Amino acid sequence: SSMGTADAESRIVLVAGATGGTGRTLVNNLTADGYMVRALVRDEKTARAVLGDSIDYAVGDVRNVESLISAMQGVSYVISAIGSTRADPSNNPEAVDYAGVKNMATAAAQTGVRQFVLVSSSGVTQKDHFLNKAFDNVLIWKFKGENALRESGVPYTIVRPGGLVNTP
């Protein structure tokens, strides 16, 4: 390729939400395709037990921009498969699906990420969607997260799956 020495570096993909169902599938597919995967994790020991030793780990938190900037050093691509959980109130939709995505987009802009892929959700433009009533306006917050990515200046792709089930 004409990229010379930058070519190896260009194969690094940071995956946020790597230990989730979508994240695990992404890590496996990226590794199989020859990408160098770096998983953004809060707890490396727990993540390593799920994802193994063949990938790189960056400890960080989407709620902390500084941790994301260091995690994105040398990264060309970011894929976010993060999502809020009910188990931990501090992982609510506003903090994760909006502010977390906004923080990642900010860090990606500052570190020169070439493409940011966001796994969002179908229905994000339907304010009266049942998921908003059931899960703290999750789709409204996801849409705000999408818009923060759009406004960041980072080249992006937004994927809106219609429903995720726990199978590949």
Cα separation of 72 and 156, whole Å?
16
Tell me the DSSP string of 102-133: HHHHHHHHHHT-SEEEEE--TTTT-TT-HHHH
pLDDT tens-place string over residues 14-54: 999 999 989 999 999 999 999 999 999 999 999 999 999 99
Q: Measuring CA to CA, how many Å separate 136 from each of 61, 85, 109, 121, 166?
A: 21, 11, 29, 15, 22
The pTM of the full predicted model, rounded to 2 decimals, is: 0.91
Q: Residue 46: what pLDDT?
A: 95
The list of the chain residues with pLDDT below 50 reads 1-7
Of 154, 168, 165, 143, residue with least CA distance to 78: 154
Which 3-state string (H, E, C) describes 25-73? HHHHHHHHCCCEEEEEECCHHHHHHHHCCCCEEEECCCCCHHHHHHHCC
Structure token pair of residue 15: 């995956």
Q: Residue 86: what pLDDT?
A: 80
Q: Residue 155: what pLDDT?
A: 98
What separation, in Å, do the N-terminal and C-terminal C-alpha atoms of the chain show? 33
Sheet containing 56-59: give its strands across: 56-59, 36-41, 12-16, 77-80, 115-119, 156-159
Q: Residue 90: what pLDDT?
A: 85
Cα separation of 155 and 59, whole Å?
24
